[in-house]
Amino acid sequence: MKFMVFATLAAVAMAAPDGGFHSLQVPILRDDRVQEEDSYSYDVETGDGIRLSQSGSATGPNGAVVKSGEFSYTAPDGTPISLQYVADENGFQPEGDHLPVAPEFPHEIPQFVLDQIAKAAEEDASAARAEAASFRAATSVPAPSRVYGQPHNNAFSSQTEESMTYYIIMNIVTDLTRHAISDTLQVVLASLCMVAVGAPQYGYQTPSQPVRPPPQPTYGIPASASTRQSAFESVEQVPILRDDRVHEGDGSYTIDVETGNGIILAESGSPGGPEGSIVTAGEISYTAPDGTPITLKYVADENGFQPEGDHLPVAPEFPHEIPQFVLDQIAKAAEEDAAAARAGAASVRQAASVPAPAPSQYYGPPQ
């Protein structure tokens, strides 16, 4: 009975399917490769429909290899795939119907925006080249000079050289004297010493300091009282016809001034701005030197100083119509900046309102 059981198990084990992996043998139909000194090409095709062809040559910047090729195969879902590509100094550039395509921009980009982008890219490239040239100039080591400059001829160096020359020659004379040389030879050596010390020194002259003239010991005659009076009387005296000023306790005010030569200033302000800031409005009028009457109206509030007047210059019209999405982006950015400024101001006020902790009267344990 036991033998029958083991025999049955052995038969089942032998009849069980083999779970191993049997790879499909795919033949290579074509494999042509050509390798030149500065170029190459190859063309490969397999039995399952994969094809690859590629060629390259050293025609890029600084001898870089520029490649181009194509490969095709059939995807698992049966879709035929074909990809052409070029790889050069601009990177890898593939083309194929199966590649994803970025969605179109929702708005047409104006030409002046494209021009600004191209100009910014050109300026960035120019700045990068200038920085690289500056770095090369800073890190380059100049070649050593093969000639020597003339010796300096300042007072210290000249006296030092003369003293050293005299010292050396006198030592020689003393040594020779110790060896009992003749008086005549001593006289000759002493003469040579004097000639050597008195030899001219070659060098540059110290630049002379500019000579300043001495101050004059006399003063000019002060103007007389009559001269000052005549100069004062020659200035036109403009009367002030009206000068009304009112200041209230809440910070509001009004000013109304008029002069005899036609200048009028009227201004009023009140704490009606954000967080009690003063909002100012007013008007100024006068006559310009060429006789043109000038009138300026203005408001100064949380939006800044806003003047209005016929004499103010007007900016030329924008050469291109600004798309609405650009205006929306500008308005959004301005709103975000204003919100950030308000948040920063609130943070500063909150930090200033927190009292500083009182100093402790005890020392903590040493670290």
Please give the residue that has the higher pLDDT: either 349 or 301: 301
Q: Is the pLDDT of residue 211 over 60?
A: yes
Amino acid identity at 28: I
Q: Is the pLDDT of residue 119 over 50?
A: yes
Residue 217 confidence (pLDDT): 58
Name the band, by pLDDT with cuts 50, 70 and 90, for residue 362.
Answer: low
- Check: CB of residue 237 under 8 Å from CB of residue 205: no
Q: Is the pLDDT of residue 319 over 90?
A: no
Mean pLDDT of 13-34: 72
Between 70-79, 152-161, 254-263, the lowest mean confidence (pLDDT) is in 152-161
Q: What percent of the chain has pLDDT over 70?
A: 64
Residue 352 host element (H or E):
helix 324-353
pTM over 0.75: no
- Contacts of residue 52, defined as CB under 8 A and 6 or more positions apart, other chains included, come to 42, 43, 44, 45, 69, 70, 71
Residue 55 confidence (pLDDT): 94
Cα 273 to Cα 23, 277, 304, 308, distances in angstroms: 82, 5, 11, 20
Please give the residue that has the higher pLDDT: either 285 or 138: 285
Name the band, by pLDDT with cuts 50, 70 and 90, for residue 30.
Answer: very high
Q: Is the pLDDT of residue 237 over 80?
A: yes
Mean pLDDT of 72-97: 92
Task: Calculate the CA dihedral of residues 233, 234, 238, 239 and round it to 10 degrees.
Answer: 20
Residue 156 confidence (pLDDT): 44
Residue 5 confidence (pLDDT): 46
Average pLDDT of every residue of the chain: 78
Between 49-53, 237-241, 253-257, 320-324, the lowest mean confidence (pLDDT) is in 320-324
Residue 180 confidence (pLDDT): 47
Residue 265 host element (H or E):
strand 264-270
